[in-house]
Structure 1
Amino acid sequence: MRFATGLGLGVLLPLGTTFVNELAPRRVSNAFSLWGVTLGWSLGGVCAGLVGVYLTPHYGWQILYYLGALSIPLTFVAHAVLPESPQFLAARRRTEELRTLLARLRPERAAAYRNATFASVGAGGVSNPIAALLSPRYRRVSLTIWITAFLSLFAIFGLTGWIPTVMQKRGETFAASFGFGALMQAMSFVGGLTLAMLADRNLSLTPRYLATWWLSGGIAVLALVFVSGHGVNLAIVAIAGFCIIGAQHVLNNFTAGSYETLLRASGVGMELGVGRVGAILGPYVIGLLQQMTGGPDIVFWVIGGAAIVGAFAIGSLGLAAAPRPAAIDTAPAE
């Protein structure tokens, strides 16, 4: 059942990021995606932590599944309300649906859309998305993003998986230790939104901004090896959420913006798929290393190191190396 649940949950973030990116105005695409996807993602993480602290002691672990099942009616609402993206409809040559959607999105231009023809550079299909992602046009971008995602999610899931246990070992109470997880999720949205607004000002600097965020977060986590105390723990965990998890949200959007419509979901899916391997290994490897070393400091060395290496990886990639996504060209019909 967990395997089946994972298959379903695994598609949500790639498709959500892709869908919102298709509808986002280019000049604010990163901030648009943060508000459209990441806000809900972060709030869910915060609520999950609060439910774990306050409700599971009274109602048992089953309450988590009862609340999670509320996504079932939400599925029907989303299916009824959300449209296909304009780029997807253009690529599939579904012209009438495209005219209707564009008129709905931009009512002031409805007359122009009614008599327009549409062409998408990426029209058609992709027989082998993985091969396309590794083609000479995309290879450098894809491999760099995959390495970065692996290291980022290794650090994120290693940190979120072990932070309650580690903080209890550092003298924090049970409730406070789980509160650190909620704090990281809340700060991740603030950090991601800040980074998104910077990236929207100059898209070509996005890799450098990402590198700065991960480098700062990695150094902050390494500082926990040398300093301690409740206030210090709170501050550094907040910085880790702000920088390390916040940058991952923008990496998802950067990935979506690096491919055209017919490869966009596959690109984000592969990024998160490769990253998920890091997410699986992070808690396991860090737990194993704790057993071998007998202390929590190894958690901070490994997570901080992974974030710093990820910073150098994405920093080596200029956005100019990434192909620009295809746009929809419109022209009045003859």
Structure 2
Amino acid sequence: MADNQAGGAGTISAGRSWLGFLLVLLSLVVEGFDLQAANMAAPNIVSSFGITRADIGPLLSASLFGVLLGAMFLAPLGDRFGRRTIIIGACTAYGVLSLIAAVATGITELVALRFLIGIGIGAVLPNALALGGEMAPQRLLATATGMIGIGITFGGTVAGAVAAILFKQGYGWREVFMAGGVLPLIIAALLWLGLPESPALKRGEVRSGGNVLTLLAPGERAKTFAIWLAFGLVLMINYLLTGWIPLIINAQGYSQSEAAWIATAGHGGGVIGGVIASLALARWRWPVVGAFAAMAALVMILLAGADWGATALTALIVLQGVFIVGTQNALNGSAGATYPAETRALGLGWALGVGRVGSVVGPLAGSAALMLGLGQPREFFFLPIVPLLVAAALAAYLTRATKSPSLASVGD
């Protein structure tokens, strides 16, 4: 991340670029923690409030619906007022709200607070992805954006490990949420002290921002809809699996701590997959999305095809993490490199925002599957196969579509 014509690091030193990249990465680590906190704590929340597993769907979807709104309507403000300002303000807000959620006295109150937390998280994510990519040279923008996204997965891994340890020690979901409140406040202070503003904004490239009609201009509309649909399908499957795997495993006779550890192994696989996909983005973009989505579908077929023992089940959960998260990171990086600096937060915000419809639907689909009696692992893992194959087909279309001179050319 030297001083190159960047996506871009061209107006700040290499040291400041690396510092900014690290701080943005940390902001997404704590975001990943907070996103997964409710998922990892779900079995304990069910027993604490005396509700059924099918009743937990609205809680798992509440923060994701908030992310949808935050990404679509707050995140684009980063193109106008600065990514740094939005990231720090939103981190502070959802940290405070997480601490309040830790003392919630009812499930309805908890659902409302998780919704507000999601709005803050949604404002951070597109700006963090955009700013992290802009710290790198132009040729590495897609790779840097994908690597930044690994922070979310690593944060989910940390959330699973923390939940497993706390449950083993006799603590519960409140302590998990407390950790999810303290961490963003610490990171917000570090961001305020050391995070540089977007080099592109300093050069005056991102003041105009634009609006969603920019993304729907003639010649771009089909690509925009394809990107949105790909995000929706991948996020739907991502949150279906991360939200329900702990509960499904727990329902098979594993303890809450064991279920959290197996789910954590899947997040660990996601970190590996995210790194591999991000490195591949240095040479390929949309083809990486298609390849990882197709491999994820194959893993789902294996999971659905037999009753696996604990070791094999854990190994396959790790592999689904590798390919599901790899698909998501490749999607983030490819889309980030598709949009120019002046609409990057806007483009990523709307892609992630519209895509979050899928992330909201995912956990609710898990509830519907349970109500239909599809609670066994072999039946549950049939659900992601078709959406993943459709995502792979969309990636093939975008591989061809982004070769034409348009939005894609700015990322090349």
The counterpart of 1:230, out of the listed 306, 310, 316, is 310
Gaps of 5+ in 2: 1-112
Distance in 1, matches of 2:253 and 2:293, equals: 27
- 2:204 is aligned with 1:125: no
* One-letter amino acid of the structure 1 residue matched with residue 342 of structure 2: L
Matching residue within 160, 171, 181 for 1:49: 160
| Residues in 2 aligned to 1:138 and 1:66: alpha-carbon distance in whole angstroms | 44
Deviations 1:50-96 (A, max 9, x none): 12111145333222232222311321321231222222222x2xxxx
Over 3 Å counting, the alpha-carbon distance change for 1:79 and 1:325 in structure 2 is: farther
Among 383, 396, 399, the alignment partner of 1:302 is: 383
The higher-RCO structure (CA 8 Å, 6+ apart) is 1
CA shift, 1:170, in A, is 4.3
AA matched with 2:385: G
Alignment of 1:21-40 (within 5 A): 21-35=133-147, 37-40=148-151
Contact kept? 1:155, 1:304, Cα under 8 Å: no
Kept in 2: contact 1:210–1:314 (CA 8 A)? yes
Q: Which residue type is aligned with residue 183 of structure 1?
A: A
1:158 and 1:282 in contact (8 A); partners too:
yes
2:230 counterpart residue number: 148
Instruction: Report the residue type matching 1:249 in the other structure.
Output: N
**Residue 163 and residue 309 in structure 1: after superposition, are their counterparts in 2 closer, same or farther (change >3 A)?**
same
Q: Secondary structure at the match of 2:304?
A: coil
Question: Identical aligned pairs, as a percentage?
Answer: 25
Partner of 1:216: 295
Query: 10, 14, 17: which one pairs with 2:129?
Result: 17
- Corresponding position of 2:350: 270
Q: Which residue number corresponds to residue 20 of structure 2?
A: none
**Against the structure 1 CA distance between its residues 190 and 294, is the aligned structure 2 distance closer, same or farther, given a 3 Å change threshold?**
closer
Offset of 1:144 from its aligned partner? 0.9
Aligned residue-pair number = 292
Residue aligning to 2:107? none
Distance in 1 separating the partners of 2:334 and 2:384: 23
Shift of 1:171: 4.8
**Among 178, 191, 197, the residue aligned to 1:78:** 191
Moved more, 18-27 or 59-68: 59-68
What is the identity, as a one-letter code, of the residue corresponding to 1:89? K
Contact kept? 1:260, 1:326, Cα under 8 Å: yes
Cα distance, 1:210 vs. partner? 0.9
- Structure 1: how far apart are the matches of 2:281 and 2:310? 33
Structure 2 partner of 1:113? none
Output the CA distance in 2 between the equivalents of 1:84 and 1:324: 24
Residue of 271, 277, 297 corresponding to 1:189:
271
Q: Is the 8 A contact 2:277 2:329 kept in 1?
A: no
Determine the C-alpha separation between the residues in 2 that align with 1:72 and 1:183. 27
Residues in 2 aligned to 1:126 and 1:234: alpha-carbon distance in whole angstroms? 45
> Is the CA contact (8 Å cut-off) linking 2:142 and 2:337 kept in structure 1?
no
Matched, 1:320 2:395: no
What's the TM-score, normalizing by structure 1?
0.81
* Whole-angstrom distance in 2 between the partners of 1:309 and 1:170: 30
Which structure has the larger Rg over C-alpha atoms? 1
Change (3 A) 1:78 1:126: closer
Counterparts in 2 of 1:70 and 1:294: CA distance versus 1, 3 Å? closer
Q: Aligned pair in 2 of structure 1 residues 294, 252: CA closer, same or farther (>3 Å)?
A: closer
Rounded Cα–Cα distance in structure 2 between residues aligned with 1:84 and 1:30 = 19
The TM-score normalised by the length of structure 2 is: 0.66
Q: Write the letter of the residue equivalent to 1:277.
A: V
SS of 1:186 mapped into structure 2: helix
Cα deviation 1:5-36 (Å, max 9, x = unaligned): 1111112221110001112123333443344x
1:223-262 superposed matches below 5 A? 223-227=302-306, 228-262=308-342
CA distance in 1, matches of 2:166, 2:393: 41
Query: Aligned in 2, Cα 1:324/1:151: closer, same or farther, shift over 3 Å?
Result: closer
Pair 267,200 (structure 1): closer, same or farther in 2 beyond 3 Å:
same
Gaps of 5+ in 1: 93-119, 328-334
